[in-house]
């Protein structure tokens, strides 16, 4: 049996879970997250605790058991606390700012790059740091990855957009290897 899948999920006060045949909707103070329901597993609510159970012992049901439990737990955390990803812009003259629902990046191109944020995602800028936040963990991570892709960090000077906790492996230049 899945070690992750059999763990119960406590549902805090203020979180409403609606289970339909094809989707699970989790509503809370930070927003709403909708998860697709898989036919191999079922979600049961019992007195403030959600549990994910397999319908049979097939390979697909075993695979989905822990996955669906983790997705549901992440949705509950997202609608109560939210998720954040922090990015850092490194480079001389590189700037970033937020205008409404758009992140404007000036990162060495001949034009500023405008990135429109999806619904439910917020961005804050503090100097050269961007903080992406929202209630859906997958969307927050995808938005951060797409912003990073605008100018990935390069290994020689370290210029570009990187995650705050990311370590860029540096290379010696042409003259750095000779001695």
| Domains, the chain | 9-80 (3.90.930.12), 83-163 (3.90.930.12)
- Give the pLDDT of residue 3: 85
pTM above 0.85, yes or no: yes
- Give the pLDDT of residue 19: 92
SS3 assignment, position 61: helix
- Give the pLDDT of residue 36: 94
Structure tokens given for 174: 């042409």
Q: Burial code of 127-154, b = ≥16 C-beta within 10 A, e = fewer?
A: eeebebbbbbbebbeebbeebbebbebe
Q: What is the mean pLDDT of each run of 10 residues along the chain (179 residues)?
A: 84 92 93 93 91 93 93 95 96 93 94 95 95 96 96 93 93 73
- Give the pLDDT of residue 178: 61
């Amino acid at each position: 049996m899945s070690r992750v899948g059999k763990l119960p999920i406590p549902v805090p006060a203020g979180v409403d879970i609606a289970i339909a045949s094809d989707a699970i909707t989790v509503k809370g103070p930070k927003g709403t997250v909708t998860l697709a329901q898989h036919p191999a597993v079922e979600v049961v609510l019992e007195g403030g605790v959600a549990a994910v159970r397999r319908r049979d012992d097939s390979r697909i049901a075993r695979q989905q058991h822990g996955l669906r439990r983790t997705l549901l737990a992440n949705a509950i955390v997202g609608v109560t606390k939210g998720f954040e990803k922090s990015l850092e812009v490194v480079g001389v003259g590189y700037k970033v700012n937020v205008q409404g629902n758009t992140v404007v990046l000036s990162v060495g191109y001949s034009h500023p790059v405008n990135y429109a944020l999806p619904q439910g995602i917020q961005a804050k800028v503090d100097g050269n740091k961007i903080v992406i936040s929202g209630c859906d963990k997958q969307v927050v991570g995808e938005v951060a990855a797409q912003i990073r892709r605008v100018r990935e960090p390069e290994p020689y000077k370290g210029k570009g957009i990187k995650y705050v906790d990311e370590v860029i492996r540096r290379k010696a230049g042409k003259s750095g290897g000779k001695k």
